[in-house]
Amino acid sequence: MSTEKEPLFSPKNLKLLSEPLGQSNPITIQVLGICSALAVTVKLKPSIVLAISVMVVMAVSNVVISLLRKSVPPRIRIIVQLVVIASMVILVDQVLKAYAYDVSKQLSVFVGLIITNCIIMGRLEAFALGNKPWPSFLDGLGNAAGYGWILIAVAFFRELLGSGTLLDIQVIPQSFYEAGYVNNGMMILPPMALVVVGIIIWIQRARNKSLVED
Amino acid sequence: MENLVNIFVKSIFIDNMVFAYFLGMCSYLAVSKTVKTSTGLGIAVVFVLGFTVPINFLLEKFILKAGALTWISPSLADVDLSFLTFIMFIAVIASMVQLVEMVIEKFAPTLYNSLGIFLPLIAVNCAILGGSLFMQEREYANIGEATVFGLGSGVGFFLAIVGIAAIREKIKYSNIPAPLRGLGITFIITGLMGIAFMSFMGINL
């Protein structure tokens, strides 16, 4: 067999990593994983924690499913995928409870909801079932990063405009408040997360005409 | 009784799955292009939530909670299985979806045909697992409250998805900036609907 060994970071593999950041972003283009994403974006810190958790769960479960892809009968693959994801999420949840208890309380049910996060199921179905472990790992990492940066961008604006802080450190100078500046309380409310994502989609599609729907 | 009505109204309007917690967003965005299909999905969600939440409540009460195993023998009082929550809940949901599908197929074939592909897809709808996890977090006292909460959340999802589908059908005729068409405007409308739903906040029967 004359299999040329592909270099670990061949252009094709790098594309797996970079494409989900823009061209095929899971949130703004593929419309996956919005469920658990928006509610945690009131503050920057829980969003970063959730983004990292999703990245871990996604990369590892992509690799595991990719390793199992030949031995799992197609009929029961959804259950197998759910079990793999669920066990990863349990691990992440236990680690968070042990080392970052207050964040884990803030995230409440949303750590558990990583299980039904459609990005993870979607990538497992669409990619890991048909590819080798290493590209699957990169694909998981890339998609989780694409998901994470939207999450962090939304949280950045909501925390900055809604509470005048970033990572709980005040960034709007006190003199602004004395001059009559008021935090926009609207930004903290759940509906504004949707509007912010809507605006991000707007900007992205305005810059890249090929993404426009009709 | 009053308490039950209160939980029902609260879970439909105030703690609405879609507008307050963004649960079930994926199917909410993907399936809301026409009123007909979204009605089908909405009914399926009400069904499945109405079944899974009480079942998971029983699981939580008799198996998972710290010290819940005492009904087998008192020596198990300090066993805490709560770390198994996710895996148990998701297994129950996946199998319940299958079961509900078979029951509906047998006894209501017309409904089954109109629901079509949406029934199996519900297993990975975050609103379902979210319903069970909220039930666990809010510690409802008995199975009646849990059932009512499940049904209420389902009805809330139903209202949301049928509402957005109706708006999307009409908005096709409006002149929206091209980059905002489709997904973008749907997000913003959902945000506005969420703001409207916030006016229910504080209702207490």
Q: Does A76 reach chain B within 8 Å, measured CB to CB?
A: no
CB atoms within 10 A of CB A171: 11
The residue with tokens 């494409």 is A19
Are the beta carbons of A191 and B198 separated by less than 8 Å? yes
Nearest to residue A128, comparing CAs of A90, A73, A81? Answer: A81
Question: Which chain A residue shows the shortest CA-CA distance from B180?
Answer: A202
CA distances from B48 to A75, B44, B92, B178 (A): 22, 6, 11, 38
Which residues in chain B touch residue A115, judged by CB atoms under 8 angstroms apart?
86, 90, 129
Nearest to B129 among A112, A189, A202 (CB): A112
Flag whether residue A105 sits within 8 Å of chain B, measured between CB atoms. Answer: no
Q: Which chain B residue's Cα is nearest to A95?
A: B83
Determine whether the interchain pair A82/B90 forms a contact, defined as Cβ–Cβ distance below 8 Å: yes
Cβ <8 Å between B20 and A28: no
Please check the confidence at residue B128 and state whether its pLDDT lies above 50.
yes
Q: Which two tokens stand for residue B89?
A: 């809940």
Mutate to test the interface with B, among A75, A88, A109 (most CBs of B within 10 A): A109
With beta carbons under 8 A apart, name residues in chain B contacting A117: 126
ipTM: 0.73
Q: Which positions in chain B touch A120 (Cβ < 8 Å)?
A: none
Q: Is A109 on the interface with B (CB under 8 A)?
A: yes
Residue B150 and residue B153: Cα distance in Å, rounded?
Answer: 5
CB B188 within 8 A of CB A195: yes
Question: Any CB–CB contact under 8 A between A98 and chain B?
Answer: no
Cβ contact, residue pair B126, A121, below 8 Å: no
Residue B30: its chain A contacts at CB < 8 A?
31
Token pair of A42 as six digits: 């009131």
Chains A and B form CB pairs within 8 A to the count of 147
- In order along its 214 residues, chain A shows pLDDT tens digits of 344 455 666 777 777 777 777 677 777 777 777 766 677 777 788 888 888 888 888 888 888 888 888 887 777 777 788 888 888 888 888 888 888 788 877 776 777 777 777 778 777 877 777 788 888 888 888 888 888 888 888 888 888 887 777 777 777 777 777 777 777 777 777 788 888 888 888 888 888 777 666 5
- Please judge whether A194 and B182 are an interchain contact, meaning their C-beta atoms are less than 8 angstroms apart: no
Quick: pLDDT tens for B45-84: 888 888 888 888 888 888 877 776 777 777 777 777 777 8
Say whether residue A213 is in contact with chain B using an 8 A CB cutoff: yes
CB contact (8 A) between residue A28 and residue B83? no
Question: pTM, whole model, 2 decimals?
Answer: 0.79
**Is A192 part of the contact surface with chain B (CB cutoff 8 Å)?**
yes
A8 touches chain B (CB under 8 A): no
Distances (CA, A) of A104 to A92, A95, A98, B33, B107: 10, 9, 9, 36, 44
